[in-house]
């Protein structure tokens, strides 16, 4: 039996279910989105919104407790195929986002300059797009402006790309692409704008009236004499010239589930923002898991001598840690050896004591048998005299009872004292 959880399910059963997943889901990047330290209610809402962005390959209902350490998440990351860990923290200076590649790093630390929650973004949109199956598939990632030189740019680009599953252009189903995540880098300000959109595909090149009929929206024709008047009305002319950008028009290679979007037809792609919004700045790139050599720092610059000194101190610290670990392991082995020796010694003593007890029991049984043979006076009297003895001759049932000595207990008289005055006694 596996270790029981709150709902009664065991870990072994979960592992068995996890082993039956297809290889495509196992290879997909999974993520944990948590917060550390004391954060406000807005940061908690931001964590929930960011989990919605990372769905479906994230722990949407993950409960992060104060006693949970980073090594707890790392220990179960391999079992659940988790590849990235996103940590939100808050200090007096600002809010920070750390993106960690599990299990060995690197770690990217971003400063959050501004952010807007999802419900604030949606509330500013007039026509909100609500689709129940938007979060059943991972979003499409778009990177803009990440063409600079430097190891930090390459690591940042690779980290963002590997946070979401790759798309096979030959096998992709366009009906599954319902969302889009945009990372736009500004080389002048060195800020990254994060946006989350819902993708909407509508027929292009037709009037608004035809579009309503095609999309099964029955118009009100009470004011018109015929359908031709409705279609030729200037108010029902195509609105694509005013709203649509010709660059957003595409020829669909597949038929979409939405009405009016057939294969080989021209459609327009529209983006509806879902939130949240984030404005990020890369501060630090570390080689390891939340530690290790600093590969890039935006605010602090070190000379080559300082880098060598830091590297030497880190190496000394690592050797000291290994030495202490080895000493602890040796002490543990010695304690286990002493414990085993004490156990063997205790077992030998218990075995010897059991042998002595058996010998003592045998001696007592033999003594009792001899005593029974010697004390059988009634049989001896019958053999010698030839008749049964009197009942009181060899009586062994007489019991001597000792009387219990109860000392005399003086009881004091309890009552009111005499009111009569005492007699005076005169001497002489």
Q: Do 263 and 320 share a domain, yes or no?
A: no
Say if 231 falls within a structural domain: no
* CATH number, domain containing residue 42: 3.40.50.10480
Distance CA 215, CA 213 (A): 5
Task: Indicate if the pLDDT at residue 383 is higher than 90.
Answer: no
What are the tens digits of pLDDT across the range 67-89? 889 989 999 998 999 999 999 99
Q: Which of 293, 320, 351 is the C-terminal boundary of a domain?
A: 351
What does the buried/exposed string (b/e) look like for 87-109 if buried means 16 or more CB atoms within 10 Å of the residue's CB?
Answer: bbbbeeeebbbbbbbbeebbbbb
Q: Which of 318, 351, 384 is the C-terminal boundary of a domain?
A: 351
Q: Do 198 and 310 share a domain, yes or no?
A: no
Say if 42 falls within a structural domain: yes
Q: Do 198 and 313 share a domain, yes or no?
A: no
SS3 for 90-155, per residue?
A: ECCCCEEEEEEECCCCCEEEEEEEEEECHHHHHHCCCCCCCCCCHHHCCCEEEEECCCCCCHHHHH
Torsion over CA: 381, 387, 392, 397 (sign): positive
Q: Do 74 and 143 share a domain, yes or no?
A: yes
Q: What is the mean pLDDT of the chain?
A: 79
In this prediction, residue 209 carries a pLDDT of: 58
Distance CA 282, CA 117 (A): 21
Say if 233 falls within a structural domain: no
Task: Indicate if the pLDDT at residue 3 is higher than 60.
Answer: no
Q: How confident is the model at residue 206 (pLDDT cuts 50, 70, 90)?
A: low
In sequence order, the β-bridge partners of residue 195 are: 182
Q: How confident is the model at residue 1 (pLDDT cuts 50, 70, 90)?
A: very low
- Number of domains comprising the chain: 2
The domain in which residue 113 lies consists of 11-204+244-301
More confident site: 243 or 127 = 127
% pLDDT > 70, the chain: 74
In this prediction, residue 422 carries a pLDDT of: 55
Q: Do 116 and 64 share a domain, yes or no?
A: yes
What are the tens digits of pLDDT across the range 326-361? 999 999 999 999 999 888 888 888 887 777 777 888
Q: Do 141 and 156 share a domain, yes or no?
A: yes
Q: Do 270 and 345 share a domain, yes or no?
A: no
Q: Do 273 and 346 share a domain, yes or no?
A: no
Q: Is 120 exposed, middle or buried (0-12, 13-18, 19+ CB in 10 A)?
A: middle
Say if 81 falls within a structural domain: yes
Q: Is 211 exposed, middle or buried (0-12, 13-18, 19+ CB in 10 A)?
A: buried
Residue 250's H or E segment, with its range, is strand 249-251
Distance CA 207, CA 81 (A): 49
Q: Do 81 and 68 share a domain, yes or no?
A: yes
Q: Which of 351, 368, 385 is the C-terminal boundary of a domain?
A: 351
In this prediction, residue 389 carries a pLDDT of: 76
Say if 360 falls within a structural domain: no
In this prediction, residue 169 carries a pLDDT of: 81
Cβ–Cβ under 8 Å, residues 216 and 246:
no
Q: Do 295 and 320 share a domain, yes or no?
A: no
Q: Do 100 and 168 share a domain, yes or no?
A: yes
Q: Do 199 and 109 share a domain, yes or no?
A: yes
Query: How many whole angstroms from its chain centre is CA 36?
Result: 13
Task: Indicate if the pLDDT at residue 324 is higher than 60.
Answer: yes
Say if 315 falls within a structural domain: yes
Say if 374 falls within a structural domain: no
Say if 258 falls within a structural domain: yes
Cβ–Cβ under 8 Å, residues 240 and 204:
yes
In this prediction, residue 390 carries a pLDDT of: 74
């Amino acid at each position: 039996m596996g270790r029981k959880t709150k709902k009664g399910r065991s870990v072994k059963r979960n592992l068995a279910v996890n082993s039956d997943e297809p290889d495509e889901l196992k290879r997909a990047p999974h993520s944990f989105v948590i917060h550390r330290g004391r954060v406000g209610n807005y940061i908690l809402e931001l964590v929930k919104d960011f989990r919605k962005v990372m769905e479906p390959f994230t722990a949407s209902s993950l409960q992060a407790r104060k006693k949970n350490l980073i090594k707890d998440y790392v220990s179960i990351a391999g079992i659940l195929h988790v590849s990235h860990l996103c940590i939100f923290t808050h200090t007096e200076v600002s809010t920070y986002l750390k993106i960690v590649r599990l299990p060995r790093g690197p770690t990217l630390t971003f400063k959050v300059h501004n952010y807007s929650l999802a419900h604030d973004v949606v509330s500013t949109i007039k026509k909100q797009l609500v689709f129940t199956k938007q979060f059943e598939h991972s979003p499409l990632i778009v990177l803009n402006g990440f063409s600079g030189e430097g190891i930090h740019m390459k690591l940042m680009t690779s980290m963002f790309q590997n946070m979401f599953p790759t798309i096979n252009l030959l096998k992709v189903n366009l009906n599954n692409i319902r969302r889009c995540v945009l990372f736009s880098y500004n080389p002048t300000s060195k800020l990254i704008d994060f946006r989350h959109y819902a993708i909407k595909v509508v027929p292009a090149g037709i009037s608004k009236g035809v579009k309503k009929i095609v999309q099964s929206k029955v118009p009100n024709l009470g004011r018109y004499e015929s359908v031709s008047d409705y279609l030729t009305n200037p108010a029902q002319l195509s609105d694509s010239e005013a709203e649509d950008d010709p660059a957003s028009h595409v020829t669909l290679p597949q038929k979409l589930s939405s009405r009016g979007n057939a294969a080989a037809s021209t459609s327009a792609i529209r983006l509806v923002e879902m939130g949240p919004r984030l404005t990020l700045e890369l501060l630090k790139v570390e080689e390891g898991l939340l530690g290790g050599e600093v590969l890039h720092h935006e605010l602090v610059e070190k000379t080559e001598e300082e880098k060598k000194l830091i590297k030497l101190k880190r190496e000394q610290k690592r050797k000291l840690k290994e030495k202490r670990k080895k000493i602890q392991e040796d002490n543990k082995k010695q304690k286990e050896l002493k414990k085993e020796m004490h156990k063997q010694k205790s077992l030998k003593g218990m075995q010897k004591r059991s042998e002595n007890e058996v010998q003592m029991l045998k001696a007592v049984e033999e003594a009792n048998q001899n005593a029974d043979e010697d004390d059988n006076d009634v049989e001896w009297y019958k053999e010698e005299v030839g008749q049964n003895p009197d009942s009181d001759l060899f009586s062994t049932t007489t019991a001597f009872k000792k009387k219990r000595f109860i000392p005399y207990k003086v009881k004091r008289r309890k009552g009111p004292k005499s009111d009569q005055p005492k007699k005076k006694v005169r001497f002489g």
